[in-house]
Structure 1
Amino acid sequence: MDWLGDNAWAAWLSVAAALGVAELFSLDLVLLMLAVGAMAGMVAGLLAAPVVVQVLVAAAASIAMLTLVRPSMVKRLHGGPELRLGHQELVGRQAEVLQELSGLTTGRIMLAGEEWSAKPYDETLTIAPGETVEVLQIRGATAYVHPVPRLES
C-alpha cells in the first residue's frame, strides 16, 4: 500500500489508459473526457497532492470536460456541411439582367448559365438590362433579386 501512495500517478495513468481504450469501443466521447480527468488526477499525484485532492481534481476536470468540451466536439463531429440542393443552391449567387425587371413586370436574368424569369425583391425597384443582381429568394420558377451596388470611380 505504501508503493501505491508514493506512485498514485501510475494508478491514474492506468485508469486513463483503460478509459482511452474503452473509448475506442464506445465512440461517444464520455470515456475520453473521463480519461482526461484521470490525467489531471495523475498530474496532481505527480505533484504529491493527497489522494483526496487527486480525486477532487480528477472529478472537477472530468465534469468540466463533459460540460464544456464534449458538447461542441459532438456537434462538430455529428454535424455535416449544410447541404443546399436544387434551386436553393442558386440563392446568394449573382446574375445579369437580360430584360428590365420591375414590380409590375417579370423580366429575365442569366443565372448560372440559364435564363430565369425574375422580379425585384423590392417591388418599388426597376432594374435595367445589363445590371448585376443577387438572388435573394426563388419561388417556383421565379428568382427574386436585388441589384448589387457598383463602386463608382
Structure 2
Amino acid sequence: MVALLWVLGAVILAAGEALSGDFFLLMLAGGALGTAGVSALTDLPVWGDALVFAALSAALILGVRPALTRRFSTPPPTPTGIQALTGKTAQVLEPVDEVSGTVRLDGDVWTARPLDPTEVYAAGTTVTVMKIDGATAVVWKGP
C-alpha cells in the first residue's frame, strides 16, 4: 500500500515537471519511483522510506540533473540585424547634434542623433549606440 502512494507521488511530481521544465521535479519523481520499488520489496518503516527517497533524490539531483540541463538547455538567442547594433561603438564622421550628424557603425555610415538632445559630438569622437530609431542611430558618449 505504501509503495502505491510513492508511485502516485512520482506521477504527480512528473506532471508538475511538465509545467516547470527545469528537471528538478523529475529528479524527485525518480526518487519517489525508486522508493516505491524499495518499499514494495522491503518492510522499512516510514522514516526509512523517507531516507531512501532523500538519498535517491539527492543522487539524481546532483548526478543526473546537471547532465540533462547541459544537454537540453538552449543558448540565448543571438541578436541579429538592428538588434545586434545596440551597445556597439561607432566613430563620429560629421558632428552629431539633435538635427544632423553621421557615424561609422560596423563599416556602414548611419545618420545619428545624441541620446541627450543638448549634447554635440565632434568628428572623431567614439560613441556607443544606445538604440536604433528607424534609420538613425541614437548615440551616447558616456562618462
How does the TM-score come out when normalised to structure 1? Answer: 0.56
| 2:108 maps to 1:117 | no
Q: Match of 2:123?
A: 129
1:147 aligns with 2:141: yes
Q: 1:108 aligns with which of 98, 102, 107?
A: 102
Other-structure match for 1:51:
45
The reply on whether 1:138 has 2:132 as its aligned counterpart is: yes
Secondary structure of the 1:119 match is strand
Q: Are the equivalent residues in 1 in contact too, given 2:31–2:54 (CA < 8 A)? A: no
Mark the runs of 5 or more structure 2 residues left unpaired by the alignment. 1-6, 36-43
Find the counterpart in structure 1 of residue 38 from structure 2: none
Q: Report how far residue 36 of structure 1 moved.
A: 4.2
Gaps of 5+ in 1: 1-14, 42-49
Matched, 1:96 2:74: no
Aligned to 2:27, what secondary structure does the other structure show?
helix
RMSD, aligned CA: 3.8
Give structure 1 regions of 4+ aligned residues with deviation exceeding 6 angstroms: none
Identity of aligned residues (%): 33
**CA displacement 1:84-103 (0-9 Å, x = unmatched):** 22111000000100000112
Taking the aligned partners of 2:95 and 2:122, their CA distance within structure 1 comes to 5
Task: Name the structure 2 match of 1:10.
Answer: none
- How far the C-alpha of 1:33 sits from its partner, in A, is 3.0
1:34 and 2:25 correspond: no
| Map of 2:40 onto structure 1 | none
Which of the two has higher C-alpha Rg? 1
**TM-score, L = length of structure 2:** 0.59
